[in-house]
Structure 1
Amino acid sequence: MSRKKLVRFKENEQNPNVVQTGKPIFEEIKGHWNEKQFQNSNPIVVELACGRGEFTVGLARVFPGQNFIGVDIKGSRIWKGSSTATSEGIHNVAFLRTQIQQLDQFFGEGEISELWITFPDPFPRDGDEKRRLTSPKFLDMYKSLVKKGGVVHFKTDNTGLFDYSLELVRSREDIELIGSTHDFYQSEWKDDHFGIQTRYEKMFSDKGEKIKYLKFRFID
């Protein structure tokens, strides 16, 4: 492991806006994010596969009256968003280092007000369907964690993953499709991200890839 990574991991251990194994809060946080992490009762917005946290931190800047949590397993990536928030004095942002498959171990029922799934691994092989973050298994988990009426956003550059996700959402009676587009920046939904672009989104866009976007909510 490189010295740079070791330094970043050490800073993650010390930074209070990173929730990860080895910290007491890691075992206590489920259902208690407002109380134990943010010390307020503001709505909680979660970004999955947050990477370097550009979007999580960007949203926290725009909405100081909401709490934002980026989830990723890569500590060196989370370090970037964590250190940016710390240096700018942004206190309504945190990062959870864990596998997304274990999300329900860290959030209580209805604890999430809004969910963003941004540019996840498409897992294109049929045998990997269960690993897609929009597969039935994950949708069922999100349904229990996102409060009634809470919106789920999904962005990807991958057409196959988008079409798969859109078809699945349309097929479920417990989901209301709010909107979808194969060209986000030419759609009525383009302001949904408030001009915030991640490093990967900019890279895809610069290559001419159209960004796909899906917006839905769970219903009874």
Structure 2
Amino acid sequence: MGRNKLARFKANDENRNVVQEGKAIFEQIKGQWKAVQFQNEKPLVVELACGRGEFTVGLARVHPENNFVGVDIKGARIWKGSTVAIAEGLENVAFLRTQIEHLDRYFGAEEINELWITFPDPRPRDGDEKKRLTSPRFLELYKPLVQAEGWVHFKTDNTGLFDYTLELLQSREDIRDLVYTKDFYTSEYKDDHHGIKTRYEAMFSAKGEKIKYMKFRFAR
């Protein structure tokens, strides 16, 4: 393992805004994000597969009235967002290092006010369908964790994953208020993310890829 990674892992161990295995808070955080991590009652916004945390941190900058948690399993990536948030004095940002399929171990029922799924691995092979973050398996995971009026946002450059997700959502009776666009930056929804682009989104856009977006709520 490279020295840089070791240094980043050590920083994650020390940084209060990183919740991960080995810290006491890791086993205590479920249902307690506002009280224990943020020590306030602000709404909780969660980004899945947050990578380096550009989007999580970007949202925290423009929405100080909310708390934000980025979720990813890659510690070296989380380190980037963590250190940027600390350097900027952003107290409304935290990162959870875990597999997303374990999300219900760390968030309680209706604890999440808003959920973002941004540029996940499209998992294009048919045999990998259940690993897609918008598959039925994951939708069932998210549903009890997101508040009844909470929006779920999904952004991707991948047409196959977008079409798969749209068809799936349109077939479900527990989805409401579904809106979507296949060209985000020419749509009425382009201000939903305040112009914040991750490194991957900027890369895809530079190649001429249209960014697709949808949002919906779960029906109770």
Give me the TM-score of the superposition, normalised by structure 1. 0.99
Unpaired runs of at least 5, structure 1? none
> What is the aligned partner in structure 2 of residue 178 from structure 1?
178
Q: What is the 5 A alignment of 1:61-210?
A: 61-210=61-210
The one-letter code sitting in structure 2 at the alignment partner of 1:105 is R
What's the offset of the Cα at 1:80? Answer: 0.4
- Cα-Cα RMSD: 0.6
- For residue 163 of structure 2, give the secondary structure of its aligned residue in structure 1: helix
CA distance in 2, matches of 1:212, 1:180: 8
The one-letter code sitting in structure 2 at the alignment partner of 1:98 is T
> What is the aligned partner in structure 2 of residue 12 from structure 1?
12
How many residue pairs are counted as aligned between the two chains? 220
What's the offset of the Cα at 1:72? Answer: 0.3
CA distance in 2, matches of 1:34, 1:205: 35
The one-letter code sitting in structure 2 at the alignment partner of 1:18 is V
Give me the TM-score of the superposition, normalised by structure 2. 0.99
What's the offset of the Cα at 1:116? Answer: 0.1
Give yes or no for contact 1:170–1:177 (8 Å, CA) kept in 2. no
Give yes or no for contact 1:44–1:66 (8 Å, CA) kept in 2. yes
What's the offset of the Cα at 1:149? Answer: 1.1
Identity across the alignment (%): 71
CA distance in 2, matches of 1:98, 1:178: 29
What's the offset of the Cα at 1:178? Answer: 3.0
What's the offset of the Cα at 1:74? Answer: 0.4
Superposed CA deviations along residues 71-105 of structure 1, whole A, max 9, x for unmatched, are 00000000000000000000000000000010010
Moved over 6 A (4+): none
CA distance in 2, matches of 1:89, 1:32: 22
